[in-house]
């Protein structure tokens, strides 16, 4: 087994880090479907955050109007993803709110 491989049981929590790539998130044999759903949501959220972070970094090198347009695109994309799961809905709603606040100030 590689160092990142592990089997997750109800007694052994999976340890996830925001610096992990999707391929590093342990592949788990999960006995509880709720835990598996949370694991899948976590992977999806990490990927979404990375995509948004990359886009924002690109926008910081752009001019002011380009940055606002990128923020609008992020908001629109997040609004489409909001319907996925309840856990993600709360987080995505907060991101949309933050982007709206930035857009209102400019």
Domain extents in the chain: 22-105
The whole-number pLDDT of residue 8 equals 47
Tokens of 27: 């592949």
Rounded Cα distance, 15 and 5, in Å: 11
Question: How big is the chain, counted in residues?
Answer: 106
Rg (CA), the chain: 17
Reported as a single tens digit per residue, the pLDDT across 47-101 is: 877 777 776 666 666 666 777 777 777 777 777 765 555 555 666 676 777 777 7
Q: What's the whole-model pTM score? A: 0.32
Q: Note the pLDDT of residue 44.
A: 81
The 10s digit of each residue's pLDDT in 13-58 is 555 555 555 555 555 454 677 777 777 888 887 787 777 777 666 6
SS3 at position 54 = helix
Is residue 67 a contact partner of residue 74, using CB atoms and an 8 Å limit? no
* 15's tokens: 């340890």
């Amino acid at each position: 087994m590689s160092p990142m491989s592990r089997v997750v049981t109800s007694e052994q929590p999976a340890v996830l880090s925001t610096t992990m790539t999707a391929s590093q998130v342990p592949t788990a044999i999960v006995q509880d479907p709720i835990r598996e759903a949370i694991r899948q949501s976590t992977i999806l959220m990490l990927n979404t955050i990375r995509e948004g972070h990359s886009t924002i970094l690109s926008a910081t090198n752009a001019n002011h109007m380009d940055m606002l347009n990128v923020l609008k695109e992020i908001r629109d994309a997040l609004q489409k993803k909001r319907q996925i799961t309840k856990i993600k809905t709360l987080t995505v709603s907060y991101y949309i709110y933050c982007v709206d606040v930035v857009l209102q100030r400019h």
